[in-house]
Chains A and B, each alone.
Chain A
Amino acid sequence: MKLAWQNIVHDRARFSVTVLGVSFAVFLMVFQGSLLAGFLRAASRLIDASDSDIWITARGVQAFEFGIPIEGRLREMAAGVPGVLETSRVCMAFAVYRTPNGKQQVVALVGADRNVGKRFPAPDAHGSTEGMSPDAMLYDVSDRDLIQVTALPTEVEVNRHRASIEGQIEGYGAFLGVPFLFTSYRNATRYLAFGPEEAMYVLLRVDRAHSISDVQQSLRQRLPEVDVLTRDEFASKSRTYWTIRTGAGGAILTAAVLGFLIGLVVVSQTVYANTMENIEEYATLKALGASHAFVARIVLTQALICGALGSILGLLAVVPTIRYAKSLISWLYTPWWLLLVMVVPSLAMCSLASIASVRSALTVEPGRVFRA
């Protein structure tokens, strides 16, 4: 296969263009893949962060961000179902936030009970919130510019109520373009003017002695006017809403597919041009007794070399780019396996791109070798 390698490196300009084309495709696919992975994760991040097994929501709620109030008594009714170990509450609504210097900003205010889960961002639930005031709020460090917090604590207003930003967290940055603020459930109901007879999400932990699906069935029978979903079901519903129903996921996927197609076209063109430029050599090879498999292997090897080198180059470029982009898009997320998995479509892309070239090389008439 020395011929395959020598043929492609002999024309360095064309070889570089091919490798750059693959790199670009890999870069785009990994970047868009990271956007999609981050988007999916962010779409259900708060649901996933809870320790609860079951979420009770108003009928038809599609995503965490669009909760509808339900009757507060449902919490007590749920608590009476056999197998329910513990209940807690979460609410979320948009509020007007005002900094001390008068700047106003819409925020998504999330309130949660202390027992929602250790990973859930609430001052009561967080281990590092000792000494915080009852009005304490947390913000994500990536939203500092939007929140305009220069020091902690900072006195602010939320829906014309006094509040205090007293802590910062990471990993829960603005997903809707609106920063999140996290506080206790009690505070949130005050800021959002929720009545004591209202709730938004009732979360349940199930006794391990009971099956979650059995408890879910019992709850559905007892509370027919609301949706009773496992945590995974609600997370999946939320992700589906954001990625499919809003079209955002489709747009990101389209860009990733476009990256694949651009790479495919670039590699196809360059590998084909290389094959046609060397078509007389393929005729010579066939005249000298080269089998179809031998000829096909040369063309395919050329494409795969370009694919492998392009993938490495693309990955080397995309890793620091994503690292930088995370400072602008906090929810961007690159699973480690995405980098490895992307090598597969890039090699598949190069193999696909070589089909036309392989056909040309295989169908060349060996008898043309005698034409001067």
Chain B
Amino acid sequence: MPNHFLGVKDASIWFGKREAQVRALRGVSVFFERGTLSLVMGPSGSGKTTLLSLLGCLLSPDEGSVFLEGEVVNGLNEVERTVVRQKKISFVFQAFRLFHSLSAIDNVALGFELRDAALPGRMKMARDLLIRFGLGDKLNREPNELSPGEKQRVAIARALAGNPPILLADEPTASLDARAGKNICQILRNQVDEHGRTVVVVSHDSRWREFADRTITLCDGQVEKEKGSL
């Protein structure tokens, strides 16, 4: 495992108590190499989002291990896991999760602030990032003044602020129309090709297949099949 950049080994996790207990993942082992875009698919309740939460150090497995850059990270305490997320991992969400009271540029600037509060020139870097994503004319718009596609581009810009090596995306195109969805797929693909980031996308959207290096299909908390090279 130390050779793999990111992954889980024999990971199991339960939710709920007693009779209502559900095993979301059943001994899953899956690994991701640096500089790849991996797609995780599967029906609802198959454990896709749970896998993403483990990879993002948001949850710890009840059994098994989570690896990041060859190190086991599931034994870390909450503060240490927060630091890992701050330095290495970023997220893109289906519901965008932008800060509703902040403008587009302030949302992205906050992304920089969270990664390095002492970083000078945050506003300029946020502006440059948004301009690169075609939002130069909407810097000061609040999220409710943006289209879903624009919101997701702002969210991706915020996720990329501070240059994290890992990007975890949960259904990033689910709320978007076809054109906007394809645009987001291309943006995340570029992050792999141009910046060497490791991107893991959880999605039902089959459009992602053409952008992904590898597709992992989960079913009932287990890896059903894998397609593409590791």
Task: Show the binding face of A for B, using Cβ within 8 Å.
Answer: 2-3, 6-7, 9-10, 280-281, 284-292, 294, 366-367, 369-370, 372
Q: Are A369 and B79 in contact (CB under 8 A)?
A: no
Among residues of A, the one whose C-beta sits closest to the C-beta of B162 is A289
Known: A3-B102, A6-B102, A370-B170. A290 touches B56 (CB 8 A): no
Known: A6-B106, A372-B95. A288 touches B58 (CB 8 A): no
Among residues of A, the one whose C-beta sits closest to the C-beta of B60 is A367
Known: A2-B102, A288-B90. A370 touches B114 (CB 8 A): no
Question: In this assembly, does B227 line the interface, its C-beta being within 8 Å of a C-beta of chain A?
Answer: no
Known: A6-B106, A366-B58. A288 touches B101 (CB 8 A): no
Bound-state Cα–Cα, A292 to B93, Å: 22
Chain A min CB distance to B57 (Å): 9
Bound-state Cα–Cα, A358 to B53, Å: 24
- Chain B residues with Cβ below 8 Å from A281 are 97, 99-100
Q: Are B94 and A372 in contact (CB under 8 A)?
A: yes
Among residues of A, the one whose C-beta sits closest to the C-beta of B202 is A370
Q: Are B99 and A287 in contact (CB under 8 A)?
A: no
- Chain B residues with Cβ below 8 Å from A285 are 114
Contact of A3 among B95, B101, B117 (CB under 8 A): B101
Q: Are A370 and B52 in contact (CB under 8 A)?
A: yes
Question: In this assembly, does B28 line the interface, its C-beta being within 8 Å of a C-beta of chain A?
Answer: no
Q: Are B58 and A287 in contact (CB under 8 A)?
A: yes
Known: A6-B106, A289-B85. A369 touches B111 (CB 8 A): no
- Chain A residues with Cβ below 8 Å from B204 are none
- Chain A residues with Cβ below 8 Å from B170 are 370
Residue of A10, A284, A291, A370 ringed by the most chain B CB atoms within 10 A: A370
Q: List 29 A-B contacts (CB under 8 A).
A: A2-B102, A3-B99, A3-B106, A7-B99, A9-B101, A10-B101, A281-B99, A284-B93, A284-B97, A284-B99, A285-B114, A287-B85, A288-B86, A288-B111, A289-B83, A289-B115, A290-B114, A291-B79, A291-B86, A292-B82, A294-B114, A367-B53, A369-B97, A370-B49, A370-B52, A370-B53, A370-B58, A372-B94, A372-B95
Contact of A289 among B82, B94, B101 (CB under 8 A): B82
- Chain A residues with Cβ below 8 Å from B218 are none
Chain A min CB distance to B134 (Å): 23
Q: Are B56 and A287 in contact (CB under 8 A)?
A: yes
- Chain B residues with Cβ below 8 Å from A292 are 79, 82
Task: Show the binding face of B for A, using Cβ within 8 Å.
Answer: 49, 52-53, 56, 58-59, 79, 82-83, 85-87, 89-91, 93-95, 97, 99-102, 106, 110-111, 114-115, 117, 158, 170-171
Among residues of B, the one whose C-beta sits closest to the C-beta of A289 is B86
Residue of B89, B91, B115, B158 ringed by the most chain A CB atoms within 10 A: B91
- Chain A residues with Cβ below 8 Å from B87 are 289
Q: Are B86 and A2 in contact (CB under 8 A)?
A: no
Chain A min CB distance to B11 (Å): 15
- Chain A residues with Cβ below 8 Å from B94 are 372
- Chain B residues with Cβ below 8 Å from A10 are 100-101
Known: A3-B99, A372-B94. 11 other contacts (CB 8 A): A2-B102, A7-B101, A9-B101, A280-B97, A284-B97, A288-B91, A289-B114, A290-B114, A291-B82, A367-B58, A370-B170
Q: Are B114 and A369 in contact (CB under 8 A)?
A: no
Bound-state Cα–Cα, A258 to B146, Å: 47
Q: Are B106 and A2 in contact (CB under 8 A)?
A: yes
Among residues of B, the one whose C-beta sits closest to the C-beta of A283 is B97
Bound-state Cα–Cα, A92 to B99, Å: 71
- Chain B residues with Cβ below 8 Å from A294 are 114, 117
Q: Are A367 and B85 in contact (CB under 8 A)?
A: no
Bound-state Cα–Cα, A9 to B142, Å: 14
Bound-state Cα–Cα, A10 to B90, Å: 27
Chain B min CB distance to A101 (Å): 69
Bound-state Cα–Cα, A291 to B170, Å: 23
- Chain B residues with Cβ below 8 Å from A291 are 79, 82, 86
- Chain A residues with Cβ below 8 Å from B89 are 289
- Chain A residues with Cβ below 8 Å from B110 are 2-3
- Chain A residues with Cβ below 8 Å from B59 are 367
Bound-state Cα–Cα, A281 to B107, Å: 12
Bound-state Cα–Cα, A288 to B167, Å: 11
- Chain A residues with Cβ below 8 Å from B93 are 284, 369-370
- Chain A residues with Cβ below 8 Å from B171 are 372
Bound-state Cα–Cα, A9 to B100, Å: 12
Bound-state Cα–Cα, A10 to B103, Å: 12
Among residues of A, the one whose C-beta sits closest to the C-beta of B87 is A289
Residue of A7, A288, A290, A292 ringed by the most chain B CB atoms within 10 A: A288
Chain B min CB distance to A5 (Å): 9
Residue of A281, A284, A287 ringed by the most chain B CB atoms within 10 A: A287
Bound-state Cα–Cα, A291 to B84, Å: 11
- Chain A residues with Cβ below 8 Å from B79 are 291-292
- Chain A residues with Cβ below 8 Å from B86 are 288-291
